[in-house]
A and B are shown apart, each in its own frame.
Chain A
């Protein structure tokens, strides 16, 4: 470790937080030193110009997302911070091992839950947590899925606490999104700061679409000929529509809407100008509830009538499978380390954040007594919605959540506030520490593949711990260094 002599970081303060680039004594972490040296040689005006060039590039490319609950229907760019987050080779090995272990256990769990439910019979998880999980699909018990894989794509959010330890904050096992930003952030940084990458040993990320495609082909139920894979989007008004197009194009597969597909004799076809063409694999970015109006929501025009029948008959594969939401229920999350122990006989490599379940009487009492110190989350929301940050909440908000918890305790969990680690971030012409998390994307096909790094999300508002794009979050490029 050594001190930086350059003026750009002269006033940088780690305060009391774990900083990704600086030790508590203000010295630079060894694996970040070459990067910071290079940044220090760029003056503030030039740095700002290049940052703005990134924004302009994103806007021109249409790398935008639509904001929920916003009548304007406006497209916004996802703010990009040019200071990358750097992960050393050793740390990445640890993360990779932990995530692989986790996705394997989650898949074994889903197989079990949709077949014999041995884990419930053995009392490892109380049955009520499964039966009352909103995204549990009991109608699919006994249905086998291709290659016995349920979660082919998982986005598990990792955070790092004051102790420098990585924790899993939540798993996203239905339609994890954001991988396109991971890829585009790397492109943007290369374009704006081309010299930065020289001889740094940054591992590339561009294999993601190829791995995704390989996985889709692997789960095809038909072995003859080339598998026809498609990406099913809700449509161009969805917040992640850019990503759907981007991934489909990068993979070289068709992007389809529900109305492009028809089911005949339990096979799925797409409507082309030359007639119907059979579809083998669907990477769906649409919720279970909407996927088939004949089975789930009757009024859904986004889905495909009859597709569940084709799926049950084994004639089409879905990624992710139907009913995976039971595994990312935030109450079920609490039991993941136990699943790892139960199915794999191993201790979880990446620990969970301590979690209190409002459904358990002693936990509920603790939650209600300590509400202002805790983060309360509803079990099935994502994107930073349905959440209470105890320390910053108003009295009215605390009262509102107290009532909600009492009314529907199964649907709430609470966790202590974890001070996410911080990373130097460009703010108003200088570098300041901002809190970050990490969302790696795990692909599970023939083997488990994790693109080195993932999407680092950063809470751009000073002091904020919420990194979601809908709540003032931005993102960074994530570097995993070669050993």
Chain B
């Protein structure tokens, strides 16, 4: 498979996963706020902070909206195209990547993604963020589910699939750690915004779509430790970090053909170590070491795997690479040249 194609498939799925996670998070947050029936608008607004912080865009938000509150936060996260990690931006990026590899995708897969793109960029879509936000986020969640389902049903189990699955699980693992980290922020507040002991933990479970599965597994014992265990270490919950790390390890070995338990490149080495750590750690150890620091460490390790994937499969070794990199400043010149090529 072409390296560029692998790269695009990987990012296409990562961006879809990112949009999906963000939609869940916003939805759950909104519901949590409704449940609380707060009158204190300051607290209400403050609860959006950790969500913005979880995508790493706090600075951007503050400079665009110095007095930003709930409404601004939701729009920043959803429809603001100046925010590269907003839902609309992510869907745009996913589609842009899909456009570059359309020949690899089933027709229905492209149509689903393009349909979602046309919806979020339509006047109707933009209006419904305000008028009927439930339906809006629901549409995004369903559409991304449909995308994953169609991909699973139509994609040849080969490299293309492995790169897509790799992208999905790297992104998902990262997002699960960030969801969980929101609890850290809330608990740092003197009165936890007046939240009861469990409520924000429940909300996190819900945003990971894991409430039902958790009930089955832990019979409704919603303790801090159980939930952390479930989202980080559970080998059987599809959004847990441990489960995702297992899939990452599998995908990497499927791509390179190296047997699992050994490694042929740095990405495999890092993924194998991460998986082993998660598989052989207990929740008590995690909590004792400090949840925030632990999650931070996981995020860094996931990032490092992403970088090594790029180095192993996408970049060419220096001795073959003859062309100088294109400076970012000349990007528009490249676009112009592409457009100039006469198609008679």
Contacts and interface: CB of A to CB of B under 8 A. Distances in A.
Contacts of B102: 62, 245-246, 249
B167 to A, nearest CB: 14
A237 B2 contact: no
A421 to B, nearest CB: 22
Contacts of B341: 175, 234, 238, 285-287, 290, 302
Interface of B: 1-6, 96, 99-100, 102-103, 107, 110-111, 114-115, 118, 159, 163, 255, 313-314, 316, 320, 322-323, 326, 330, 334-335, 337-344
Contacts of A382: 342, 344
A59 interface: yes
A155 B343 CA distance: 11
A177 B344 contact: yes
Nearest to B316: A271
Nearest to B322: A305
B343 A60 contact: no
Interface stretch (A118-126, A212-220, A254-262): A254-262
A175 B3 contact: no
Contacts of A409: none
Contact of A273 (B6, B114, B344): B6
Interface string A247-269: 01100001111011010100000
B6 to A, nearest CB: 5
B1 A66 contact: no
B339 A239 contact: yes
A4 B222 CA distance: 78
Most chain A Cβ neighbours within 10 Å, of B159, B322, B339: B339
- Secondary structure class of chain B's binding surface, majority of residues: helix
A408 B167 CA distance: 56
Given A239-B343, A240-B343, A290-B337, 16 more contacts: A59-B118, A60-B114, A61-B107, A62-B102, A155-B344, A243-B343, A249-B103, A257-B4, A260-B4, A272-B2, A273-B314, A276-B320, A285-B341, A287-B340, A300-B337, A382-B344
A337 interface: no
Nearest to B110: A62
Contacts of B114: 60-62
B326 to A, nearest CB: 6
A256 B2 contact: yes
B274 to A, nearest CB: 22
A176 interface: yes
A138 interface: no
A20 to B, nearest CB: 24
Interface footprint category on A: 35 or more
A246 B110 CA distance: 12
Interface string A268-290: 00111110100000000111001
Given A236-B96, A301-B323, A60 B115 contact: yes
Interface of A: 59-62, 66, 68, 155, 172, 174-177, 234-241, 243, 245-246, 248-249, 254-257, 259-260, 262, 264, 270-274, 276, 285-287, 290, 300-302, 305-306, 328, 382-383
Contacts of B342: 174-175, 287, 382-383
Contacts of A238: 338-339, 341, 343
Contacts of A241: 99
Contacts of A239: 339, 343
A305 B322 CA distance: 8
A264 B339 contact: no
Nearest to A286: B341
A238 B338 CA distance: 5
B3 A60 contact: no
A262 B316 contact: yes
Contacts of B107: 61
Contacts of B111: 60-61
B89 to A, nearest CB: 16
A299 to B, nearest CB: 8
A234 B338 contact: yes
A241 B4 CA distance: 16
B175 to A, nearest CB: 26
Contacts of B255: 273
Contact of B339 (A66, A257, A274, A276): A66
A61 B344 CA distance: 23
Given A237-B339, A249-B103, A305-B322, A272 B3 contact: yes
Given A62-B114, A235-B334, A305-B323, A177 B343 contact: yes
- The 8 A-B pairs with the shortest beta carbon distances in the complex, nearest first, are A249-B103, A172-B344, A177-B343, A240-B343, A234-B341, A237-B338, A245-B102, A235-B338
A301 B343 contact: no
A302 B340 CA distance: 11
Chain A CB count within 10 A is highest, among B3, B102, B110, B111, for: B102
Nearest to B315: A271
29 contacts: A60-B115, A61-B107, A62-B99, A62-B102, A62-B110, A174-B344, A177-B343, A234-B337, A234-B341, A236-B96, A238-B343, A239-B343, A243-B343, A249-B103, A254-B2, A255-B103, A264-B320, A271-B4, A272-B1, A273-B255, A273-B313, A286-B341, A287-B341, A287-B342, A290-B337, A301-B337, A305-B323, A306-B322, A382-B344
B3 A260 contact: yes
B92 to A, nearest CB: 12
B4 A259 contact: yes
Given A62-B110, A234-B338, A273 B159 contact: yes
Contacts of B316: 262, 271
Nearest to A235: B338
A271 B344 contact: no
B1 A175 contact: no
